[in-house]
Amino acid sequence: MAPHPVVELTSEASWNLIEDKFSPYGKETLAKLVAFLQDEIVPSVKLAHAQIPKDPVERWKTVIPVIEELKVKAQKLGLWNLFLSKAHYPEHGVPLTNIEYAVMAEILGRGGHMASEAVNCSAPDTGNMEVLARYGSPEQQKKWLIPLLNGEIRSSFSMTERFVSSSDARNIRTSIKREGDEIVVNGHKWWISNAGDPRTKLHLVMGKSDPNNSDGYRQQSVVIVPADAPGVKVIRAMEVFGYDDAPEGHCEVIYDNVRVPLSNLVLGWGRGFEIIQGRLGPGRIHHCMRSIGAASAALDLMISRVTNPTRKTFGKYLYEHGTVIADIAKSRAEIESSRLLVLSAALQIDKYKAKGALKEIGIAKFVVPAMACGVVDRAMQAFGAEGLSQDQELASMFAGLRTLRLADGPDAVHIQQVGQRELKRATGLAKRAAELEKKEAVVMQKASIKAHL
């Protein structure tokens, strides 16, 4: 199988660096994915958009036909659930490592979020499947995980709350109480992705089951709430820069005395924080890698535009004006270095799990989406007003990437954590500096030179 299309879509140099980390199966799957993206997914994106009604009510009742067709094809091709690594999920996973899937996530990132959905690799379903595969009871797995793995249903992860800063899990106000053999859920969430989708059948809801526990990170539990349970009220869709992202949406949801059976509790009482911790690591890298795919696609669009002879002004190609060439070079450099950062983090996860790769994940998290926003911004500028409009993907790409600077922890949180981690090296550095000074003194003395005090 020729590696050519892969190389063309990613980067030859980074491919050389990691090729020997790919199994034959990984290489084969990657090549199939590239072909599927180019031949099937990307040509269908325009149609998919056209199949979403403009009507403010109807658009939320839609199952986009062409996406469903793509899903059938993808499943046949074995391009399915690629995110779920057999190494970590022996029963349900596919034999791909994180670094292998990272490259595939970049490829998917070139096709927008529809591409990920077409191969059943779209958030938040991915994280939810990981949670259920790792922590779900056999009953929960049978009822919710299997249909999710089959792409028959979708799901929401319901954590973010209105009116509080729920990025600190201790601030969560949603209550999850046991009453007899039922669990009662009351809370006010928003930014609940997929909650608008008619295919969504469950919400994994995070709330406080033990708000007075002295350990602030043992107060939370996670419970499965069926999307059609009485009391689940999807209030409205939150917009991102004017986009409602129907039919999935990022919705405001009120849980008003919602009752579910005890068996819907995931993992156990007070283990909610543990669940979200486990859920985040690799997903962040996948977001980053998709961002790199998006940035690459934006740069390709920019290059096409500035070399288009029908876009000449004042007798010159656009690329002959101003700083266009420098902007392109800078974008290319940023994409290459970002890709390498993410690949390096992915390998680290493969070696030491997410916990052993926190520095690398953190760096990628605060570098990559911001970088991608910048590259897309330059591309928009090259396209003029059209670049901001519905006639190009750039503006919606920007909006999506912009959310990634906030999702799963805002940039600042990751910056501080990486910085703090560096500070921990101070003790070792001080020790080494002390040793150095001693050696230096010996050397100076031997040479009978008096150092400046």
Could you give the CA distance from residue 385 to residue 369 in angstroms, rounded to a whole number?
Answer: 23
| β-bridge pairing 154-158 and 232-238 | unpaired
Closest CA to 183 of 210, 154, 216: 210
Out of 96, 204, 265, 328, point to the residue binding a second copy (CB under 8 A): 328
The identity of residue 311, as a single letter, is R
Encoded tokens for 190: 């928003």
Residues in 46-75 that interact with a second copy by CB under 8 A: 46-47, 50-51, 54-56, 65-66
Could you give the CA distance from residue 363 to residue 378 in angstroms, rounded to a whole number?
Answer: 23
Peptide bond into 43 cis (omega under 30): no
Instruction: Kindly determine how many residues on this chain lie close enough to bind a second copy according to the rule CB under 8 A.
Output: 127
- Applying CB under 8 A, the span of 119-127, 163-171, 198-206, 262-270 interacting with a second copy comes to 163-171
> Does residue 23 bind a second copy (CB under 8 A)?
no
- Applying CB under 8 A, the span of 138-146, 179-187, 259-267, 430-438 interacting with a second copy comes to 430-438
> Does residue 95 bind a second copy (CB under 8 A)?
no
Residues in 384-423 that interact with a second copy by CB under 8 A: 384-385, 388-391, 395-396, 398-399, 402-403, 405-407, 410-416, 418-420, 422-423
- Provide the H-helix boundaries in 110-236: 112-118, 125-135, 138-140, 146-149
Q: Quote the least distance from Cβ 348 to a second copy, whole Å.
A: 5
Residues in 101-160 that interact with a second copy by CB under 8 A: 160
> Does residue 311 bind a second copy (CB under 8 A)?
yes
Q: Quote the least distance from Cβ 326 to a second copy, whole Å.
A: 5
**Residue with Cβ nearer a second copy (33 or 238):** 238
Could you give the CA distance from residue 445 to residue 453 in angstroms, rounded to a whole number?
Answer: 14
The helix/strand/coil state of 364 is: helix
Encoded tokens for 307: 């070399």
> Does residue 332 bind a second copy (CB under 8 A)?
yes
| 300 in Cβ contact with 382 (< 8 Å) | no
Q: Quote the least distance from Cβ 137 to a second copy, whole Å.
A: 32
Q: Quote the least distance from Cβ 413 to a second copy, whole Å.
A: 8
**Residue with Cβ nearer a second copy (136 or 247):** 247
Could you give the CA distance from residue 348 to residue 282 in angstroms, rounded to a whole number?
Answer: 11
Q: Quote the least distance from Cβ 224 to a second copy, whole Å.
A: 24
Q: Quote the least distance from Cβ 238 to a second copy, whole Å.
A: 5
Sign of the torsion formed by the C-alpha atoms of 158, 201, 95 and 37? negative
Alpha-carbon dihedral 280, 281, 285, 291, rounded to 10 degrees? 20
In the block, residue with structure tokens 């180019």: 38
Out of 130, 248, 360, 408, point to the residue binding a second copy (CB under 8 A): 360
**Residue with Cβ nearer a second copy (139 or 300):** 300
> Which x/- pattern, by CB under 8 A, does the window 231-250 give for a second copy?
-----x-xxxxxxx-----x
**Residue with Cβ nearer a second copy (265 or 397):** 397
SS (H, E, C) 200-219: EEEEEEEEECCCCCCCCCCC
User: How many residues in the chain?
Assistant: 453
Could you give the CA distance from residue 87 to residue 78 in angstroms, rounded to a whole number?
Answer: 18
Out of 74, 149, 341, 376, point to the residue binding a second copy (CB under 8 A): 341
**Residue with Cβ nearer a second copy (262 or 430):** 430
Q: Quote the least distance from Cβ 73 to a second copy, whole Å.
A: 13
Residues in 280-299 that interact with a second copy by CB under 8 A: 299
> Does residue 215 bind a second copy (CB under 8 A)?
no
In the block, residue with structure tokens 């288009």: 308
Could you give the CA distance from residue 312 to residue 327 in angstroms, rounded to a whole number?
Answer: 18
> Does residue 434 bind a second copy (CB under 8 A)?
no
The helix/strand/coil state of 332 is: helix
> Does residue 203 bind a second copy (CB under 8 A)?
no
- Applying CB under 8 A, the span of 26-34, 83-91, 197-205, 335-343 interacting with a second copy comes to 335-343
> Does residue 256 bind a second copy (CB under 8 A)?
no
- Applying CB under 8 A, the span of 8-16, 26-34, 73-81, 133-141 interacting with a second copy comes to 8-16
**Residue with Cβ nearer a second copy (25 or 241):** 241
CB-CB neighbours of 312 under 10 Å: 12
Q: Spell out a b/e string for 317-341, using b for 16 or more CB atoms within 10 Å of the CB, else e.
A: ebbeeeebeebbeebbebbeebbbb
> Does residue 28 bind a second copy (CB under 8 A)?
no
